[in-house]
Amino acid sequence: MTTQSRADGRTPDRHGNVNRPGTFGTKQVSRADVKLADTIDLEVGDDMQIGPVAADTPLQVVLVTKSHNSWVLEAQQMVDLAWFAPDGTREEAAWVEKRRAAILKFIENEYGVEGASNDENTVVDFTATLNDKSGTMTEDRVYQRLWDETELVRLWNEMDDGTAGSENLTRKMQEHLDRQVFSDAWGAEVGNVTDEQVAATLNGLRDGELIDDLTAAAIAKRAHGLRLSWMVGELAELPATGYADRYAFRGSIERVQQHPDRHGALEAEIAALKAWANAR
């Protein structure tokens, strides 16, 4: 039996919205609530959706595909990433965008799912997948395996702060995000920063002033490129994804500083990056 308080079409969530995908209402469900039918008959390469889209269960969309040697069973659950924004956040979409990669990776690793993210939407479909070698397949077996052998039910319960005996994903996510250092700049724009631009930024700093996020990410990328130690991977994470584990990132900077003979001309840049990281 799974207890949750998903959107019921009447009860607003904590943001005042009704029926937001991935937030809560009130209902109890179990796998027995799903009405199942016949043996599934598919040709190799064909797929089908089993049952309707069910927003009030952990297995909101269920799919089965026939391959040459097995069946591929999939179930999706929608989660609104804005649910993790602190109370009072005015621009939820902007808050999510800055932390999207960190949130997705945490949920994927924690629950063994894969997120399909649209950068223009805070709602993400997370998919759990199983392979089944059975010669024949029934709808009951599809639901049974996806319900019992994936983490979607746990994700559903832990999204609900009020489910007795369950962890609180909101709390776990906040702890995870608190351990990260974030940059407003990452990706292609970081690669476009020239050495001359970094030097100009450093020369223009006043006493106690910190470098901007774009410069920090560019310096991190250059420092990682020195390959002074295999234990500086977090320096690559920041320019690639816009975030990195705060303590591992600081540790990577310190490891670079342990090789002054090799980072040479980057000494001032590394010092500025360290000050930027320590202020986060």
Q: What pLDDT digit, counting tens, does each position of 50-84 carry? A: 987 888 899 999 999 999 899 999 999 999 999 99
- State how far the Cα of 275 lies from the Cα of 103, in Å rounded to an integer: 26
What is the structure's pLDDT at 143? 93
The tens-digit pLDDT sequence of the chain (280 residues) is: 333 333 333 334 444 443 334 443 333 344 454 445 578 989 999 999 998 788 889 999 999 999 989 999 999 999 999 999 999 999 999 999 999 999 999 999 999 999 987 777 899 999 999 999 998 999 999 999 999 999 999 999 998 765 656 678 999 999 999 999 999 998 889 989 998 999 999 999 999 999 999 999 999 998 888 766 666 778 889 999 999 999 999 998 888 888 776 656 688 999 999 999 999 8
Supply the DSSP symbol for 45: T
What is the structure's pLDDT at 222? 87
* Separation of first and last alpha carbons in the chain: 43
- State how far the Cα of 83 lies from the Cα of 13, in Å rounded to an integer: 9
What is the dihedral sign for C-alpha 269, 271, 275, 277?
A: positive
What is the structure's pLDDT at 174? 94
CB atoms within 10 A of CB 212: 15
Give SS3 for 275.
Answer: helix
The kind and range of the H/E element at 128 are strand 123-132
The domain segmentation of the chain, as residue ranges, is: 2-178, 182-278
Give SS3 for 271.
Answer: helix
